[in-house]
Chains A and B, each alone.
Chain A
Amino acid sequence: MCAAAAAAATAGIISPPTPSLLWANTRATFVSFPRRSPPTTSLLSASSAPAPAPPSANPKYHNAKVNAGDEEVDGEELLQRFRREVARAGVMEEIRWRRRHEDARDKRKRKARSAARRFRRRHFKGPYPFGDEQEPKEGIMEDDKHDNWELPGGELPSYR
């Protein structure tokens, strides 16, 4: 059993990042630090294989993630960003509906409700229709004959 686990860990290390790597990492982590120490031969066989990376080092092993980067970010701000990322990824809703089995009716109901919520949150970006009260203003703007723009002809009258 320990040899099989070590072989699985080795296969996981060799192959590119796949779901088997996730599983291999999980088992390898368990094998690396057992509660009861294994016999010497198992220790030797385990030490012969290279030490597997912990699950936290795997870049694909998360639902939502927030990095602080090089700058010193406040814990509160990082927590707010993380909460927003979790809400955007929909982790909580998925946990809630995966907790219990749902039949076809429940699935249909859930999809309908999520669609309604998504539609309600949508912002309107379309063109606005023009009403009838727009017409007189356009008429006033378009009329060129009554704007009194032309100067009167002839010489200006003298004031003396």
Chain B
Amino acid sequence: MTKAIPKIGSRRKVRIGLRRNARFSLRKSARRITKGVIHVQASFNNTIITVTDPQGRVVFWSSAGTCGFKSSRKASPYAGQRTAVDAIRTVGLQRAEVMVKGAGSGRDAALRAIAKSGVRLSCIRDVTPMPHNGCRPPKKRRL
């Protein structure tokens, strides 16, 4: 089921005068950094891993869909693990801080893969957004 899909890295900044030549500034491989932040976003249907530098600029991102999983298999723990391994291996981090968001099934698998990958973690934090009694959530689903 899983297949290798070639990915294009982050887009470089393009000036106004050179906008028509934007295609030449695309990166074919990710920028390799030593220290960064790993953002894990585990929703109930997908898992997205984004690696940024300490200032917050995106270096590389990966998701269960880009690793070849589709429909309900994107929400599996194995997809989360594959996504995390793919992101970390591509960037080649040595020291990282982890920010976790969401409570999907790929969350624990991705965190375990990050912990076992050999990257030294300085901090792990959960930054799931919690409304302070905001707008009304959708109604309960009747099965």
Contact = CB atoms under 8 A, between A and B. Distances in A.
A54 B56 contact: yes
Interface of A: 19, 29, 32-33, 35, 37, 39-40, 54-56, 61-68, 72-73, 75-76, 78-79, 82-83, 86, 89, 91-92, 94-96, 98-102, 106
B9 to A, nearest CB: 14
B103 interface: yes
Interface string B104-143: 0000100110111111111111111011100011111100
Given A37-B14, A40-B16, A75-B115, A67 B57 contact: no
- Of B97, B121, B141, most buried by chain A (CB within 10 Å of CB) is B121
B130 A68 contact: no
B13 interface: yes
Given A29-B56, A56-B37, A101-B139, A79 B112 contact: yes
Given A39-B16, A56-B99, A101 B138 contact: yes
Given A54-B56, A75-B121, A98-B137, A91 B115 contact: no
A86 B126 contact: yes
A98 B129 CA distance: 11
B: contact size bracket: 35 or more
A91 B128 contact: yes
A33 B78 CA distance: 32
A76 B116 contact: yes
- Of B102, B119, B139, most buried by chain A (CB within 10 Å of CB) is B139
A139 to B, nearest CB: 61
Contacts of A75: 114-121
B23 interface: no
B55 interface: yes
